[in-house]
Amino acid sequence: MASIFTRIINGEIPSYKVAEDENFLAFLDINPLEKGHTLVVPKKEIDYIRPGRRNLQGMIVFAKRVAKKIQAKIACKRVAVVVFGLEVPHAHIHLIPMENEYDVDFRKVKPKFTPEEFEETARMIRE
């Protein structure tokens, strides 16, 4: 069965797309730690990215471009790059705007955003 990320990639589930190329997709996390929290996924469904694989290098380069866009549009000191989580069996990188380490605490109470706020955030980052 396809992962939720594959279903997003295939357009079966809507998302707030931030960036896309032939190999990778970046979209806003719908359960974000901070405004602009973005997920980067390979379009080819793989569960784990091992060092030395070509698509790991491509994914990092793509994520860096997206992180620069996030930092240019979302007020933050930097953008954390986090590989974390077992809940979706599809490799993914979290890009999280941060002011301090607490902003990257996955246990904290998460902010809530309306669909309109998500769309506006995605549009800001895309531009």
Element holding 70 (H helix, E strand): helix 54-73
DSSP 38: E
Catalytic residue ranges: 92
Q: Which long-range contacts (CB under 8 A, 24 or more apart) does 2-8 make?
A: 2/45, 3/45, 3/88, 3/89, 3/90, 4/88, 4/90, 5/39, 5/41, 5/45, 5/88, 5/90, 5/92, 6/45, 6/90, 8/41
